[in-house]
Structure 1
């Protein structure tokens, strides 16, 4: 029977886990196949040397030596992420983007790759507010983000203008709930990902845009044809969701909101990620978040 390797950290022992070690590497940006290969190599070496008890620092030193010649950037990130993980500093990621561009898919993938347990959509926040606030008080809150009618805004205007006016009104209402979530997360030191159409960069409080623990970005699709196709894919196998036809009937309004959010990101200096390829977009999002994480870790090191 193969003997178990115990890893010692601050006087406490825990079984060596290839999965956890590989997860640490993927959090730092290593490819999954590389991460698992290195974790397996380290374990095999320790078994061959009959090392049944080993300090965590030595395990990480072996990993760094294997990575140094192939991906020095991951080595740097790995150390910073480890320091951050052991600190009380939370990370809050805000992923904005119009309906259908893939914010929820990217948020879920980011959370999986960075081991963040809490992912909340702004649609869920809106649904809670709908239960608490009557349509007579805030009619825009009870519409889809792209389907606010001129009479809902209660201000005389051209129907064309009512699309963005109504969307901004709804976004400002939903952001009250989002701000409460972010404040709680920062206060309690809990990592959190929030995604959704209502995360308009210029409407997010400046204290969050400038906060070192909060990372904001916007997802987009420049090709309208690709955007249209996403609604058909979104409807497949999801009987509880609205059919693609309903979204496509309001595609013009959705694209107006899409372009408005993208321009808002440009004006606010918020990073933008095109989501044509999920893998490439996910890598880009992880890169942005890890860049922000590295900054927090450096601050922790300087204290």
Structure 2
């Protein structure tokens, strides 16, 4: 809950550890959730009062049926998949979908004769794939925009279903261009969009080699590097699109710091949902008179 409210990971861990130590010292091994939260809240007031209000709102939100949808865009290699998984973990969101998976489903349903660009990698667009005359220096971005628009149909179907059924969801991938996907969700309080980027080209390039060492990549790093100029074109376009659309962009130098920033962006975006719930979160947090869920406190083994 602290992470959901936007507390830094270090602060959240420290407060949780302090509360746990206090309860163990009092030899209380099963405690009502409300009392635990009241203790956490009292410590937060002293250490980060700004998070307190958001903690209250997240508590209301957790008990409501309102869904949260997070859209994380960014070029190939900047870390959207890693960030999406971490944000989902911190916000307790079970469903994470990549736009590459959505594109793959669409490929099975639509012939390459009908939509040839859908069957190409986002950065590997050739002149023969285009059905209109395009200048050489515009070819990559034109093809990418067309593909992103086609994939957006599948993205919107998944997001709309999530909103309708009350399902929390994180969607990530290169096809989430703010100016394309935001037309539908710009003013929707349950949908939060952000973009990830790397300003240092060398750092971006090195990510492909690092990822190749840690995972069984479908393509070797050298294949991505051979298209690095095109990938950077798309990267810069997505960042520029986020600026034009008023979408926040976060540089992914450290996954922990980037995840902190992303959670804060989401928290700020969806804070209005709790307001609409028309409840008093502070009373809910502090009133321990009504039993809720018992929280077991386990003693750490020593020796």
Q: TM-score under structure 2 normalisation?
A: 0.86
Task: Report the Cα distance in structure 1 between the residues aligned to 2:9 and 2:73, rounded to whole angstroms.
Answer: 26
Query: Where does residue 297 of structure 2 map in the other structure?
Result: none
What RMSD over aligned residues (CA atoms) do the two structures have, in Å? 1.9
Query: Where does residue 197 of structure 2 map in the other structure?
Result: 220
Change (3 A) 1:150 1:74: same
Q: Which one of 143, 147, 167 corresponds to residue 190 of structure 1? A: 167
Moved more, 227-236 or 189-198: 227-236
Instruction: Summarize the alignment of residues 1-303 of structure 1 with structure 2, pairs less than 5 Å apart.
Output: 24-46=1-23, 55-301=32-278
Task: Tell me if the contact between 1:84 and 1:293 (Cα under 8 Å) persists in the aligned partners.
Answer: no
Question: Does the residue aligned with 2:214 lie in a helix, a strand or coil?
Answer: coil
Query: Once the two structures are superposed, what CA deviation does each residue of 1:212-267 show, in whole Å capped at 9, x if it has no partner?
Result: 00000111111111111111112113334211111111111111111111111111
* Unaligned ranges ≥5, structure 1: 1-23
Change (3 A) 1:190 1:165: same
Query: Once the two structures are superposed, what CA deviation does each residue of 1:187-211 show, in whole Å capped at 9, x if it has no partner?
Result: 0111100000000111114231210
Query: Once the two structures are superposed, what CA deviation does each residue of 1:150-192 show, in whole Å capped at 9, x if it has no partner?
Result: 1111112223221111111111110100000000000011110
Task: Report the Cα distance in structure 1 between the residues aligned to 2:205 and 2:21, rounded to whole angstroms.
Answer: 49
Change (3 A) 1:175 1:51: same
Task: Tell me if the contact between 2:194 and 2:247 (Cα under 8 Å) persists in the aligned partners.
Answer: yes
Question: Does the residue aligned with 1:30 lie in a helix, a strand or coil?
Answer: coil
Q: Which has the higher contact order (CA 8 A, sep 6+)?
A: 2
Change (3 A) 1:270 1:146: same
Change (3 A) 1:79 1:230: same
Number of equivalent positions: 280
Task: Tell me if the contact between 2:60 and 2:279 (Cα under 8 Å) persists in the aligned partners.
Answer: no
Moved more, 32-41 or 258-267: 32-41
